Amino acid sequence: MTVTVRYFAAAAEAAGVAQEILDAGSARTAGELRATIVAAHGPGLARVLPRCSLLAAGLRLDDDAATVPPGVTVDVLPPFAGG
């Protein structure tokens, strides 16, 4: 399965890319996708990712068991401070 992953702010810095098409293999859930992302980018992203929200096609993946549809765009959003 392939997905487009877009990284923002600290997640982009930790991943070293702003966007990629990721071969997620057999990853079908948000938890499996998180593991695939960490395997691709290492410990820096592993530290940031637990604080991030995943959005698939604009829908938040709150549960690690949530299904990730093939070909979807997934946004990795760290918490933002702002005013």
Residue 43 structural domain: 2-77
Q: Calculate mean pLDDT across residues 20-35.
A: 91
Q: Nearest CA to 23 among 43, 37, 3, 9? A: 3
Rounded to 10 degrees, the C-alpha dihedral 55/57/63/65 comes to -130
Q: Is the pLDDT of residue 39 over 80?
A: yes
Give the Cβ contact number of residue 16 at 10 Å.
12
Specify whether the CB–CB gap between 73 and 4 falls below 8 A: yes
What is the number of structural domains in the chain? 1
pLDDT at 67: 92
50-69: pLDDT as tens digits = 999 999 988 999 899 999 98
Name the pTM for this structure: 0.90
82 belongs to a structural domain: no
2-11, 28-37, 72-81: which range is least confident on average?
72-81
60 belongs to a structural domain: yes
**Structure tokens belonging to residue 16:** 């070293």
22 belongs to a structural domain: yes
Q: What's 34's domain CATH number?
A: 3.10.20.30
25 belongs to a structural domain: yes
